[in-house]
Amino acid sequence: MDKKTYSNLVVSSAPHLVTNMDTTRIMLMVLIGLAPSFLVSIYVFGMRVIALTAVCIIASMFFEWAWNKLMHKTQTVGDLSAAVTGTLIAFNVPSGLPFWIAIVGCFVAIIVVKQLYGGMGKNIVNPAITARIVLFISFATEMTTWPLPRMAADATSTATPLGVLAEGGAELPSNMQMFLGFIGGSMGEVSAIALLIGGLFLIWKKIISPIIPCCFIGTVFVFALIYYGATGEGEALQMAIFHVLAGGVMLGAFFMATDYVTSPLLPMGKVIFGIGCGLLTMIIRLWGQYPEGVSFSILIMNCLTPLIENFCQKRLYGGAKKNEK
């Protein structure tokens, strides 16, 4: 027998198998999870939804690509995380927003929030949330000009349900209208049912843990139930459901508070994070200057994440015994 030997084999540490679920696939799953809401938005707000989303995705991916190119870093645009950020920015702004403002938002998200802090996995706060807040403060008029949903009566712009709640002047939409998404608001946050379907898909695929969404939404619900029950400003159960469906709670709870990089890793930390988001959201909504509080609450909890993580690690392992000798 012809005996050939091989003595230049690859030597690496075990394990020699890896799962096929990599970062790119995870990001792809998130994009799929966002698809139902995207479709409802097209139905509600028309074709500009597609254009705005495309602009945001292309701009985000371009900034990511250009930064890596200029800084001679490994090209990471292929992992699709910039596409997810771009989509979330589009979902968080009114569908009629001028494109150039959306592009400014993408610049803030990708360059300022993500890349200046070290890129993928190193950012402290969620890029899309921060971009929304920066745009909201910088372009207050454009960011609060809510285009009419197709079902509305003749008018050129409308108010969000939370805007109505804060300032009055119109009738609140029914909970069913809000559940389906036939209301004014940011492009991708209007339809609770579509976001729920996408969120459950991600939980089913084990992309996200259900802890943060459950704690976030649960806290908003319970807080509203107690507040309206105590003050009698409205029918408690009705208003509790209203607060869960209104504004960015669904989008925030399933797609932005669950961002791996900026939320705690340990289950107990996720509980604290989710409850914190819910509490801050309700405090801002009920007593704050702004009608909506989801993005601020997530931003604040993002900043607290390292502290929560540290606290939970100590709890898990019984703390460091540094002073014992």
Q: How far is the CB of 255 from another protein (least distance, A)?
A: 15
Contact between 204 and another protein per CB under 8 A: no
How far apart CA 251 and CA 199 sit, in angstroms, is 9
Considering only 19-27, 105-113, 152-160, 189-197, which stretch makes contact with another protein by CB under 8 A? 19-27
Q: Which of residues 252-281 bind another protein (CB under 8 A)?
A: 260-261, 263, 265-266
DSSP 31-68: HHHHHHHHHHHHHHH-THHHHHHHHHHHHHHHHHHHHH
How, if at all, do strands 146-147 and 157-158 pair?
Answer: antiparallel
The residues, ordered by sequence, that sit 6+ positions from 141 with a Cβ below 8 Å of its Cβ are none
Contact between 72 and another protein per CB under 8 A: no
Find, among 102, 98, 125, 94, the residue nearest to 112 by Cα: 125
Angular region, 169: left φ>0, alpha ψ -120 to 50, beta rest? left
Contact between 120 and another protein per CB under 8 A: yes
How many residues bind another protein, per CB under 8 A?
42
Find, among 135, 89, 95, 88, the residue nearest to 254 by Cα: 88
CA dihedral of residues 150, 152, 157, 160 (deg, nearest 10)? -100
Contact map string, positions 74 to 103, toward another protein, x by CB under 8 A: --x--x-x----------------------
Contact between 317 and another protein per CB under 8 A: yes
The Cβ of residue 145 has, within 10 Å, a number of other Cβ atoms equal to: 14
Contact between 320 and another protein per CB under 8 A: yes
Contact between 177 and another protein per CB under 8 A: no
Q: How far is the CB of 176 from another protein (least distance, A)?
A: 36
Binding residue for another protein (CB under 8 A) from 69, 122, 150, 315? Answer: 122
Contact between 21 and another protein per CB under 8 A: yes
Q: Which residues bind another protein (CB under 8 A)?
A: 1, 3, 5-19, 21-23, 25-26, 76, 79, 81, 119-122, 209, 260-261, 263, 265-266, 313, 316-317, 319-322
